[in-house]
Chain A
């Protein structure tokens, strides 16, 4: 097993890669949302992530936890739609998990106050901590949206990704291979949303008419996991 640690630059690159992928796929996300929602997922998320990249450029956060906190706080203030508080919660909970689980003497809760917390200035994040932080973020997102697997939401891509990442690391896979497995699981989860009937969000108003459409939230969530695999796994 290799346990190549992930530095904060890697996690910032993850966010930037997510922003690039959403920018490229913006119209697809909005078109998917037009079919079963309110046709703003791509534009909202692109606006938010553009602001995130500007915020990272402007503040140059030192450490993974402050970078992810900046990402989360910027998303909740700039996305506007439900994906703002949902992805915002994911990044804020990841930041809190990394800070709370950080090196001795450098912890602090980054999620709820003005203290940015730190995981140690650029202290590497071990693969196990990265997986645990991602799980904490996904759990937080699921709790925020009161969503469970099968509801035709972001969760349908994110939970399989966490499961695959943890299983691969437990099997001794190196981080790049484990993240690649997570990305494949997220893509499969996204594809599996098509036959589902939506039970959350605007799409749930459509009832059975939501069947046959790929979920836009699961689609952007798969972009998020794919970006992690590229930025951290291969980076």
Chain B
């Protein structure tokens, strides 16, 4: 599983950001590392500490790679210098410094990584992490990441279709969307969602941003279209989650 490392000036900020991401990606197998602050209270970044944290994250990732999220200025410089300080070229090649915004990027990266996605997908979702907020504030659908808007396979023979109504007071917001993404990554199936009430979509159901761009509120009707060997069980799992109202499920209770 891809590991994620937070490089920040502030240890308190990094810990709080990780706690926020953990709420949506509680899988203990997901490594969320921290290299932040000069000590508990002193703001600053330490390239040598970043190098150590990269080594630990790489070991936890068992070859899947490490995605690094950074806050401002010297956090970026320290992360780059840390790569120089590593004497393992293989490790260096497995690390990607991701320019996504720290909080949004971290949440998207953590959810995507815990679903077992490859490093490039984790980075793409992190980079698109602002999309949900942009869609909400501009009332316009954000551009999904390149591979989140996959066209339906031309072969519709094995396609499974279903519809459900969004329950729960707050609709399909970030945490239920994260639950959905994590749950569906376990299936060999491609699922697309459309918001029949607003016309939004289609969006890939295994993309946090894709789900966010549906802006699915309580009462909206959502159409599901699935294909692939496990299309049926995937749709069943999705409908079961919808039946429970997503949000009413304790984090982790249905995490794959």
* Residues on A facing B (Cβ under 8 Å): 40, 44, 73, 76-86, 88-89, 92, 111-114, 144-145, 201-202
CB distance from B83 to the nearest CB of A (A): 10
Whether B48 pairs with A80 at a CB distance below 8 angstroms is no
Residue among B44, B48, B72 with most chain A CB within 10 A: B44
Q: Contacts of B48 on A, CB cut-off 8 Å? A: 73, 76-77
Whether B43 pairs with A80 at a CB distance below 8 angstroms is yes
Whether A82 pairs with B49 at a CB distance below 8 angstroms is no
Q: Which of B24-32, B73-81, B112-120, B123-131 contacts A (4 or more CB under 8 A)?
A: B73-81
Q: Contacts of B47 on A, CB cut-off 8 Å? A: 76-77, 84-85, 88
User: In the complex, A44→B74 CA distance in Å?
Assistant: 12
**Interface assignment of B45: CB less than 8 Å from any CB of chain A:** yes
Contact of A80 among B46, B72, B81, B84 (CB under 8 A): B46
Do A82 and B85 contact each other (CB < 8 Å), given the known contacts A73-B48, A77-B49?
A: no
Q: Contacts of B38 on A, CB cut-off 8 Å? A: 77-78, 80
Find the B residue at minimum CB distance from A89: B81
Find the A residue at minimum CB distance from B77: A85
Whether B74 pairs with A82 at a CB distance below 8 angstroms is yes
Whether A84 pairs with B86 at a CB distance below 8 angstroms is no
Question: Which 7 residue pairs spanning A and B have beta carbons closest together?
Answer: A80-B44, A82-B74, A85-B77, A76-B47, A113-B87, A85-B81, A77-B48
CB < 8 Å A-B pair total: 65
User: In the complex, A86→B47 CA distance in Å?
Assistant: 11
Whether A82 pairs with B84 at a CB distance below 8 angstroms is no
User: In the complex, A86→B84 CA distance in Å?
Assistant: 13
Find the B residue at minimum CB distance from A37: B73
Q: Contacts of A78 on B, CB cut-off 8 Å? A: 38, 46
Residue pairs across A and B with Cβ atoms less than 8 A apart, 27 shown, are A44-B44, A73-B48, A76-B48, A76-B78, A77-B48, A77-B49, A78-B46, A79-B44, A80-B44, A80-B45, A80-B46, A81-B44, A82-B73, A83-B74, A84-B47, A84-B77, A84-B78, A85-B45, A85-B77, A85-B80, A89-B84, A112-B86, A112-B87, A113-B87, A114-B87, A144-B81, A202-B73
User: In the complex, A201→B9 CA distance in Å?
Assistant: 15
**Interface assignment of B134: CB less than 8 Å from any CB of chain A:** no
**Interface assignment of B42: CB less than 8 Å from any CB of chain A:** yes
User: In the complex, A26→B47 CA distance in Å?
Assistant: 23
Whether A85 pairs with B78 at a CB distance below 8 angstroms is yes
Whether A82 pairs with B42 at a CB distance below 8 angstroms is no
Do A81 and B85 contact each other (CB < 8 Å), given the known contacts A76-B46, A76-B47, A76-B48?
A: no
Whether A112 pairs with B84 at a CB distance below 8 angstroms is yes
Q: Contacts of A88 on B, CB cut-off 8 Å? A: 47, 81
Do A112 and B85 contact each other (CB < 8 Å), given the known contacts A201-B73, A202-B73?
A: yes
User: In the complex, A109→B54 CA distance in Å?
Assistant: 21
CB distance from A144 to the nearest CB of B (A): 6
User: In the complex, A144→B80 CA distance in Å?
Assistant: 8
User: In the complex, A234→B237 CA distance in Å?
Assistant: 78
Contact of A111 among B42, B45, B84 (CB under 8 A): B84
